[in-house]
Amino acid sequence: MMEARSLSRRFGGLLAVADVSLSLRPGELHAVIGPNGAGKSTLVNLLAGELAPTEGQIFLDGTDITGLSVAERARAGIGRTFQRTNLMLDMTVLENARLATVIPFRRLLRRADRETVPLAAARRALQRVGLPESALARTLSHGQLRLLEIAVALAGQPSVLLLDEPLAGSGAEDAAPIAALMKDLSREHAVLLIEHDMDVVFAVADTITVMVDGRVLERGTPTEIASSAAVRDAYLGHGGG
Ligand code: ADP
Ligand code: MG
């Protein structure tokens, strides 16, 4: 289980994440929703280790991992996808899946500098999402690129999956299969899902945390969140984001 305790992150005068606590459990799909700028991606970056919190701690199976780097957290079992796709378009699907997802700015790195994951793990991940190994990433549809992004994270054999808008930019026809895959993955992994498509969120989430201005406004089951007056007033009633 992954646990964030009172996480805050300041950017100059802006408190992007303010005193956020959250638990991710195996078998649970925990969605975080909120308007643009609510602090959702910053929260993912804090959990993945790309940003250090200004305050608060992060625990994985009871161990404090707040001081671990992105690579160390990935080795400890934390996988993530990026809101903006982070794939190597001139490489094959299999080559992408073999590249460790943990290295920031993968595009800028020379091939020799990259870590790779075992071939068998990469192949299993691609089978899981249903992508052909030998296709060039450039030839994939948008929805397939989002699946490849998930496969790259899965190839690292994570216990926790952090998915930041895995449907972003894909068409309506891609949403259902990707949503079904996420739900399926949450049976074995602890999944944190950032998603703005409320139909998808309410269909797949076990728990929803609503963030507004960096803070947790409400947390509950989809039924509880749908009937929350505070959420309706602050967020859903204004068209979401
Ligand atoms: P969300 O993902 O919910 O849309 P973000 O976490 O991306 O929100 O951003 C939360 C707030 O923090 C926004 O006001 C954003 O402009 C600001 N922010 C995010 N990253 C940085 C950064 N690296 N430097 C300064 N401000 C940032
Ligand atoms: Mg975001």
Q: What percent of the chain has pLDDT over 70?
A: 91
Collect all residues with Cβ–Cβ distance below 8 Å to 236 and sequence separation of at least 6: 198
Collect all residues with Cβ–Cβ distance below 8 Å to 164 and sequence separation of at least 6: 40, 41, 44, 80, 81, 82, 83, 194
Q: Is the pLDDT of residue 107 over 50?
A: no
Q: Is the pLDDT of residue 15 over 60?
A: yes
Average pLDDT of the segment spanning 52-67: 97
At 238, the pLDDT band (50, 70, 90 cuts) reads low
At 112, the pLDDT band (50, 70, 90 cuts) reads very low
Q: What is the rounded CA–CA span in Å between residue 144 and residue 129? A: 9
Query: Of residues 100 and 179, which shows the higher confidence score?
Result: 179
The mean-pLDDT minimum among 53-67, 101-115, 165-179 falls in 101-115
Q: Is the pLDDT of residue 60 over 80?
A: yes
Q: Is the pLDDT of residue 111 over 60?
A: no
Average model confidence (pLDDT) across the chain: 89
Average pLDDT of the segment spanning 133-160: 93
pLDDT for res 74: 87
Query: Of residues 191 and 99, which shows the higher confidence score?
Result: 191
pLDDT for res 82: 79
Ligand 1, pocket residues at CB < 6 Å:
11, 14, 16, 34, 36-42
Question: Given the CA of residue 194, which atom of ligand 1 is nearest to it?
Answer: 2
Average pLDDT of the segment spanning 134-152: 93
Ligand at minimal distance from the CA of 81 is 2
Question: Given the CA of residue 83, which atom of ligand 1 is nearest to it?
Answer: 2
Domain boundaries defined on the chain: 84-157
At 170, the pLDDT band (50, 70, 90 cuts) reads confident
What separation in Å is there between the alpha carbon of 25 and the centre of ligand 1? 26
Q: What is the rounded CA–CA span in Å between residue 24 and residue 37? A: 22
At 110, the pLDDT band (50, 70, 90 cuts) reads very low
Q: Is the pLDDT of residue 95 over 60?
A: yes
List, as ranges, residues with CB under 5 A of the ion ligand 2: 40-41
CB 204 within 8 A of CB 193: yes
Mutation probe of ligand 1 site: the residue of 7, 10, 11, 41 with most atoms within 8 A of C-beta: 11
pLDDT for res 83: 72
What separation in Å is there between the alpha carbon of 63 and the centre of ligand 2? 27
